[in-house]
Amino acid sequence: MSMLAYIRGVFLKDLRVFRVHLLVLLALGIWVENPVFPHSEDFPGSIAAFVLMEYVLLVLVIQLDPVGREFRFLQTRPVPGPAIGLAKALFAGLFLLLPILLTQEWHLAAAQVPMPLSDHFILALETFSVLSAGFCAVALIAGLCRTPRAVLISLAIIIGVPILGIECWRSFMGPLPTIPHSQRVDHGQLDSLRDLLWQTVLAVSCLIAIGVRYRTKGFRWPLGIAVGGIALSLLASFCPWNFARSLQEQGKMQALLSPEALARIHMTVLPSGNGTPTYKVSPVGSYGGVAGESVLQQVRMDGVPMPYFVQTIDYHATITLRSGKKFVSNFYDAAGHSEMGGMGMQQMTTAAGVQTPYFFTTHDYALAEFDLASYPTAAFRNQDLTGASIKGVITFAVFRAYKEGVLSVKAGASVSFRRNRYKVLDYTAKEHSITVSLEHYSVPLPLRADNDGMEAPGAFSILPVYRTYGCALDQSNQDFNVTTTLLGLRRELSSTTYNGSPFGTSDPHGMQDLPSGWQSAVDLIVIGTEYCGRVQIPYEMDNVNLGSATPHGH
Amino acid sequence: MNAIVETQHLSFAYVWGKDVLRDVNLKVKPGSFHALLGRNGAGKSTLLKILAGALQPREGASWTLGADSRRLGVNEWRAIGFLSEAQPLFNGLTGAETLRFTRQFYPNWDSAFSDHLCKAMELPLDRKLGSYSKGERMKFLLLLAMAFHPRLLLLDEPFSGLDVVAKEQLIACLLETTGQEQWAVLCASHDIAEVERLADNVAVIDHGLLTLDEPLESLQGRYRRVQVFGAPAGETDAGMLHVTQSENGLSFVETGFSAVREAQLRTRYGPGVEFSSMPLREILVSVFTSTEARP
């Protein structure tokens, strides 16, 4: 009897036993999650409930032949252990994972989001990674436990102990000590990737542990592997930023600037003079109960022509007080950095090829403010904070803004490009404004350095343009409603009001007022950004007065 | 190796637990029905688990069908029939579905024999196993354990909780089949009356030690209850268990009864001595309640 015959036998047995469960589960899933007559909005969290039910079914399937029980039926039959494990994996893959992947594809097709085959593959890989990590962890518990009751108790302990522990800590010890972390864009992207790594390592280690358990029927080895794998996966979730970033930058090489172009990028700290500092010290809020301050410095950026722009992704600085005391300041040690750069109106209008508002004077350099150092307030208490010096190296990511597509303001108008689709649902024209309801489907792929955040480099911005004059319009109001599903498709509904006046109308040289009927000639230009490389620039600041949250003025 | 099952200096302890088995040496020969008896928690089921490869000995070694019991493979399991009261069945399947599922793994599955056992034990194959009574479950498990003509049957508490009819059906089936097929059977049980009808060898485990392992006939031959009317107090020796002195005289259990021993006792106590044979239950009670049970 071949291995395949064994697997087939066990698989068909499981299918026979759980045929009713499966039918009910799949029917429920199709009813709630189908994109044709969707009910998922009527049942918030329905996909999570669906996945939870899948976990329960998986526990039942594995508990039918649990490895942890010494005298389970198949253990005393001439059936190889690996065949049982593979049959269970086949069951989980075919009936638990595949329906989700197929539904995901169904949603994508219904949303008409264009995606190349490679992106479909990456999305499937990401979904598989997220789901299989949970499946494998549950399967490991279900496989090692002797009875369903033991599974329930184990899951309750695994889920309950951390929750109770956190609550107890909060009650008795105060706020949790947390790893410094900001909501910054780059972090958001990297977090997604690190989550994927975490889940992948967890899944693989659980799979190995299950495999070993089925092979040897021993207990200590698989348990050791599982514990080791969980430890590794935790380590993976703290994997170095640089490593994560280098992984993400794979596949984004097409827009890279040449080393010569990158070498032309310079940052010059503008010197303070006549008692007017060019920096200010601002509070950066507290994180994990630690309040901090950051030093925001005016700089001149050379070698970053429009529509390029830079954004801080890291810095390491040493702050030396007059007393000689030194403090090492790392970008990731603080939360809520104030100025980090990013795309502005000037880059957008340049990329869109429309008039640049007057106040963006054309230079071969740009003036900007960057956060160049930060420190916890308490660390410098009772110190002389005048006359400090700061020396460090800052790392910028360089991006370029570009025009991705144009969307006319007409009901039903749409524009689609890779992993995105914009559609005008409706618009309301008034004399001095136009309000546009926009639907935006996107498929963020962490492995392609996308994330769910709106402000992420790589995400898209909308520039309203009056076509006849080729000028950008003022925006007065915007409402968002974002639905992110576990199925990978992100749907964003927005309602934005644009004024019938060009952006920067106070221009004395004059952009003209718009003629009546201007609403019919409004285009929405989708501006994208792409990564072009990274530069590290050293900097120095002298005679800095630290220690006050009040800006010194500049 | 001639023995179907053999253990040498076998010891076992659960993690963070005390010793469950200590230095167990056991041999089960082809064609023998070996009863494994003992009190609750004595280690009977643990020994079966080790022989079935579900647990690994801490010390010593064990062989099942000549193979190291830690590494029983498909070939060995094709010749081992296993029945345990604790073994779960697939409650969502009917008896017929389970039979179909199980028989595909045995090249030597005997469908005619399976049908015969079904009829003999009156098994309702069209019903789901979840609706089976305990007796029906045990009979069904026995059918699954025997329908492929195993060389070894491992039975763990096969009579536990069964009614009289079910027990009789099970015993009849075992008697008929094992008598014909010359299978080796190792049966752990508390049901001594049933075991006494089936077993030809008895092994007793007490607190993890194998205190007794011999043919039933020999065991019953050397155990006698002895009543001595009017005997004086204090006249006992090493072979006597549970010695009691009353107004009627002396009473004890003789563990080394033989013609020579009978003659010795008759010489010692005169005509007032009576010997009565003991059922297995009484012998075991004597064994379990004595610290000097070894012959």
Cα distance between residue A109 and residue A420, in whole Å: 12
What would the two tokens of residue B59 be? 């010390």
Higher per-residue pLDDT: A296 or A139: A296
Average pLDDT over every residue of A90-101 = 87
> What chain A residue is nearest to B86 in terms of C-alpha separation?
A71
Asked if the Cβ–Cβ distance from B82 to A76 is below 8 Å, we say yes
C-alpha of A306 from chain center: 27
CB B293 within 8 A of CB B211: yes
| pLDDT exceeds 80 at position A236 | no
Average pLDDT over every residue of B218-234 = 80
Confidence band for A184, pLDDT divided at 50, 70 and 90: very low
What angle do helix axes A3-17 and B95-103 make, rounded to 10 degrees?
170
The predicted pLDDT at position B203 comes to 92
Asked if the Cβ–Cβ distance from B77 to A77 is below 8 Å, we say yes
> What chain A residue is nearest to B46 in terms of C-alpha separation?
A70
Cα distance between residue A206 and residue A140, in whole Å: 6
Per-residue exposure over B244-274, b if at least 16 CB sit within 10 Å of its own CB, e if not? ebeeebbbbbbbebeeebeeebeeebeeebe
What would the two tokens of residue A257 be? 């600037």
Question: Chain A within 8 Å of B109 (Cβ-Cβ)?
Answer: no
Cα distance between residue A189 and residue A512, in whole Å: 41
The conformation of residue A96, written as its DSSP 8-state character, comes to I
CB A210 within 8 A of CB A140: yes
Amino acid at A492: E
Question: Chain A within 8 Å of B82 (Cβ-Cβ)?
Answer: yes
The predicted pLDDT at position B295 comes to 42
Q: How far is B169 from chain A (nearest CA, A)?
A: 23
Containing H/E element for B142? Answer: helix B134-146
Alpha-carbon distance values, A361 to A290, A345, A350, A358 (Å): 40, 13, 13, 7
Asked if the Cβ–Cβ distance from B107 to A79 is below 8 Å, we say no
Q: How far is A56 from chain B (nearest CA, A)?
A: 17
Percent residues over pLDDT 90 in chain B: 16
Q: What is the pTM of this model?
A: 0.70
CB B201 within 8 A of CB B33: yes
The predicted pLDDT at position A185 comes to 45
Three-state SS string over A150-166 comes to: HHHHHHHHHHHHHHHHH
User: Which of A90-99, A206-215, A242-251, A326-335 is predicted most confidently?
Assistant: A90-99
CB A371 within 8 A of CB A385: no
User: Which of A185-194, A389-398, B172-181 is predicted most confidently?
Assistant: A389-398
Lowest mean pLDDT, pick from A26-35, A536-545, B71-80 = A26-35
Average pLDDT over every residue of B49-76 = 87
The predicted pLDDT at position A530 comes to 82
| pLDDT exceeds 60 at position A547 | yes
The mean pLDDT of chain A is 76
The predicted pLDDT at position A553 comes to 39
Question: Chain B within 8 Å of A64 (Cβ-Cβ)?
Answer: yes
Q: What is the pLDDT of residues A480-528, one digit of tens each?
A: 777 766 567 888 888 999 887 776 655 545 556 777 788 888 999 999 8
The predicted pLDDT at position A504 comes to 63
The predicted pLDDT at position B55 comes to 80
The predicted pLDDT at position B232 comes to 64
The predicted pLDDT at position A177 comes to 60
Q: How far is B259 from chain A (nearest CA, A)?
A: 47
Percent residues over pLDDT 70 in chain A: 71
Question: Chain B within 8 Å of A324 (Cβ-Cβ)?
Answer: no
- Count of CB pairs separated by less than 8 Å, A with B: 66
The predicted pLDDT at position B127 comes to 93
Q: What are phi and psi of A6, to 5 degrees?
A: -60, -50
Question: Chain B within 8 Å of A171 (Cβ-Cβ)?
Answer: no
Higher per-residue pLDDT: A76 or B127: B127
The predicted pLDDT at position B231 comes to 63
Confidence band for A176, pLDDT divided at 50, 70 and 90: low
Which chain B residues contact residue A77 at CB under 8 A? Answer: 77, 102, 105
Asked if the Cβ–Cβ distance from A70 to B55 is below 8 Å, we say yes
Average pLDDT over every residue of B46-70 = 87
| pLDDT exceeds 90 at position A29 | no
C-alpha of B37 from chain center: 5
Radius of gyration, alpha carbons of chain B: 22
Question: Chain B within 8 Å of A69 (Cβ-Cβ)?
Answer: yes
Cα distance between residue A57 and residue A69, in whole Å: 19
Per-residue exposure over B187-209, b if at least 16 CB sit within 10 Å of its own CB, e if not? bbbebbebbbebbebbbbbbbbb
Three-state SS string over A238-264 comes to: CCCHHHHHHHHHCCCHHHCCCHHHHHC
Q: What is the pLDDT of residues B162-172, one digit of tens each?
A: 778 878 887 88
Which chain B residues contact residue A17 at CB under 8 A? Answer: 90, 92-93
Which stretches of B43-84 are DSSP H helices? 44-51, 74-77
Measured CA angle at A59 (ends A90, B91), to 5 deg: 90
Q: How far is A142 from chain B (nearest CA, A)?
A: 16
The predicted pLDDT at position A425 comes to 92
What would the two tokens of residue A79 be? 């059936």
At A516, is the secondary structure helix, strand, or coil? coil
Amino acid at B150: P
- Strand-strand pairing, B209-215 and B201-206: antiparallel
Asked if the Cβ–Cβ distance from A73 to B75 is below 8 Å, we say no
Minimum-distance CB partner of A71 among B80, B84, B90: B84
At A300, is the secondary structure helix, strand, or coil? strand
Asked if the Cβ–Cβ distance from A16 to B49 is below 8 Å, we say no
Lowest mean pLDDT, pick from A94-103, A352-361, A508-517 = A508-517
Asked if the Cβ–Cβ distance from A79 to B74 is below 8 Å, we say yes
CB A428 within 8 A of CB A434: yes
Which chain A residues contact residue B107 at CB under 8 A? Answer: 1
Residues 396 to 435 of A: which have CB under 8 A from any B CB? none
Average pLDDT over every residue of A450-458 = 51
Question: Chain B within 8 Å of A353 (Cβ-Cβ)?
Answer: no
Alpha-carbon distance values, A522 to A111, A416, A463, A480, B282 (Å): 25, 18, 10, 21, 104
Lowest mean pLDDT, pick from A271-280, A286-295, B50-59 = A286-295
Which chain A residues contact residue B106 at CB under 8 A? Answer: 78
Residue A510: CB atoms within 10 A of its CB come to 10
Q: What is the pLDDT of residues A278-319, one digit of tens each?
A: 888 887 766 556 677 888 888 888 888 888 888 888 888 898
Question: Chain A within 8 Å of B87 (Cβ-Cβ)?
Answer: yes
CB B64 within 8 A of CB B57: no
Residues 218 to 277 of A: which have CB under 8 A from any B CB? 218
CB B253 within 8 A of CB B278: yes
Minimum-distance CB partner of B54 among A6, A13, A217: A217
Question: Chain A within 8 Å of B17 (Cβ-Cβ)?
Answer: no
Question: Chain B within 8 Å of A94 (Cβ-Cβ)?
Answer: no
User: Which residues have CB under 8 Å from B125's CB, separation 6+?
Assistant: B94, B95, B96, B99, B118
